[in-house]
Structure 1
């Protein structure tokens, strides 16, 4: 079964969340390319999300649909969120850029909350596939 097929049999709320996660982590950061002083943040966020996605896919390929799949998000997105948080405090940013950064950060933080719980549960012995 492919990752996409495994995801398709998950509950509706999981599929909706993953759809939003793709929007918030891959598409919305492209909006940061509009402003000169947020372009690097947009590129960094998209690149980090691509690498995290590749890590998730690699874990799925090795172990299946297990709780450890959140580990790449934790490793990669925590520094990105810290970077975005620092950036949004820049007084020279457009208010719309700051709003967009907050939506991206909120998306990543919600994902990280799920991921930290899942990876913790995996570390405590819940290793069976979903």
Structure 2
């Protein structure tokens, strides 16, 4: 399943989204499923021209909590990126459940900002760190 969020800005339709992919296996253990990776993608559409601006893997767990030989033991739920924020001092990530409330965060700093202004707080798309994608931050 692909998760996406669209927004128009200066005549360009920007799309942020996530998808999960896994490498194809080959060799004697090709019957075992490869680990899955969560990706962030960013598309730009303008006047019939569309292109991928960003496509990068994220360091987020996908759905398996633990696995043995590629087979999941139990399932976990992927978190939402709806309120993703980042400390602009130490670069730690935070999930801010109440936008606009200023407080001291677990890192001890209060300089926390949105990871993506385009998506925040309307989309559940998980983003890479600011500076690793083109639009929205």
TM-score category by the smaller chain?
A: under 0.3
Q: From the two aligned structures, give the one with the greater strand fraction.
A: 2
TM-score (norm 2): 0.26
Q: From the two aligned structures, give the one with the greater helix fraction.
A: 1
Larger Rg belongs to? 2
TM-score (norm 1): 0.27
